[in-house]
Amino acid sequence: MSIKYAVPVKIDIKSHPELNETWVQNIIAEDPSIIGLGNLVLKDKERIQPRAGRLDLLLQNVDATKRYEVEIQLGKTDENHIIRTIEYWDIERKRFPQYEHCAVIIAEDITSRFLNVINLFNGAIPLVAIQMNAIQVGDTISLVFTTVLDQLKLGFVDEDEEVYEITDRNYWEQRAKEQTVAMADKILELINSIWPGFELKYNKCYIGLAKDGQPNNFVIMRPQKNIMRVEFKIPKSDDIENKIESAGLDMLDYDSRWERYRIKLNKPDIEKNKDFIIELLKAAYENNL
């Protein structure tokens, strides 16, 4: 069998007689994962903003914890586009503060001048810039997305500990259930079997760890009504993901902001996958040294 080669041709969508921004929106809306920001779903399209126009796309990760305010620009980026993107991001984060929000700019041509400008905002404003290329091979057109400016990595959770309100065990047992909070005890037992002296640290947003009074959140836990979400601070790798899949565990996604694998556990999962969970704990602990 001989493999045939076809010469790809780059297309300028802005000047194309048939393609337009609506076409791009529909392609992304059908499969938001193609833009390269993880396992996303479409929350809304052409979302009306109070006194501020329409947001092209509102995407959300499958775990429903993070939303992406996406604006699409054909041709070169311009100043009006960045202002509009940030404005929509600001409106959405104020309307729905229970989510983490990130502004996303997708354009055919992201200029160096534009990158210099938005680099000034990155960190203060979570902003991602993605360059989009339309490629034609024969009568087929594909879109290729390349992240040229990623969201700035922020400090570790424990570096910003003061912003999280301290709570207690009763708070989590009321918010979730005693049974799922008890799963955090099981994880703590595994940790102390290797590194004695750790204790649970109850915060409003998560249950973390502390040793000798100092936070050390190489793993954090978020009990829910029927399951517990455990987040291991481990660099992203195909090897880890293959092992998670082989173990039959439910991986929600990889949080690139905090560099954490987020895994959904029920009570039988902990006992059944005890050795592998210990392996993940060791990897996270060593990564956090």
Q: What value does the mean pLDDT take over residues 155-172?
A: 64
- Residue 39 resides in a domain: yes
Least confident of 24-28, 80-84, 190-194: 80-84
Domain closes at, from 149, 170, 196: 149
141, 180: one domain: no
**Residue ranges in 105-232 assigned as alpha helix (H):** 112-121, 169-175, 178-194
Instruction: Kindly give the interhelix angle for 79-95 and 112-121, rounded to the nearest 10 degrees.
Output: 30
Do 53 and 102 sit in the same domain of this protein?
A: yes
Q: Is there a single domain that holds both residue 227 and residue 197? A: yes
Q: What percent of the chain has pLDDT over 90?
A: 47
pTM of the model: 0.55
- Which secondary-structure segment (H or E) carries 282? helix 274-287
For 201-233, the pLDDT digits (tens) are 999 889 999 998 888 999 999 999 889 999 999
The reply to whether 4 falls in a domain is no
Whether residue 48 sits in one domain with residue 32? yes
Residues 232 and 179 in one domain: yes
Query: Are residues 145 and 16 both part of a single domain?
Result: yes
* Distance between CA atoms of residues 70 and 68, nearest Å: 6
As given in the structure block, the two tokens for residue 269 are 């999962």
* pLDDT, the chain, mean: 86
Residue 41's domain comprises 9-149
Contact 57, 72 (CB under 8 A): yes
Q: How many domains would you assign to the chain?
A: 2
CATH number at residue 241: 3.90.1150
